[in-house]
């Protein structure tokens, strides 16, 4: 079985498209609405592909970057170090520049 990682925005879009929500789904929607840092109409797949192309990161790591949307080198380094990844400074700058341009 292949694991597919999705962002909070993708979870939000899946839940919001349902007609009715159970209590857990309502709680999840509330959480995501409070912490989502991207406009719900954003093409998340193109963002993920671009981040993956810029840095050769996995879908899992790029999804986490999209969820958190780091704006500083320290924030991005903290995310990447949790996956034992430490790219060079030029890769960090490319990712941060791309995120700032969104």
The 3-state secondary structure of 48-68, one letter per residue: HHHHHHHHCCCHHHHHHHHHH
Crossing angle of helices 59-68/8-16, nearest 10°? Answer: 80
User: CA 58, CA 56: separation in Å to the nearest integer?
Assistant: 7
Query: What is the domain-level CATH number for residue 93?
Result: 1.10.150
Report if residue 36 sits inside a domain. Answer: no
Asked whether 76 and 92 are in contact (CB, 8 A), the reply is yes
How many structural domains is the chain composed of?
A: 1
3-state secondary structure of 38: coil
Report if residue 33 sits inside a domain. Answer: no
Report if residue 30 sits inside a domain. Answer: no
Report if residue 65 sits inside a domain. Answer: yes
What does pLDDT average to over the chain?
94
Residue 2 pLDDT level (bands cut at 50, 70, 90):
confident
pLDDT at 57: 94
Percent of the chain with pLDDT over 90: 86
pTM for the model stands at 0.89
């Amino acid at each position: 079985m292949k694991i597919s990682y999705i962002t909070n925005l993708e979870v939000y879009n899946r839940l919001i498209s349902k007609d009715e929500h159970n209590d857990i789904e309502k709680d999840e929607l509330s959480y995501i609405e409070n912490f989502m840092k991207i406009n719900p109409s954003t093409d998340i797949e193109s963002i993920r592909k671009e981040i993956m192309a810029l840095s050769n990161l996995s879908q899992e790591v790029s999804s986490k970057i999209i969820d958190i949307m780091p704006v500083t080198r320290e924030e991005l380094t903290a995310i990447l170090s949790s996956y034992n990844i430490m790219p060079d400074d030029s890769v960090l700058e490319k990712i941060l520049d791309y995120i700032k341009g969104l």
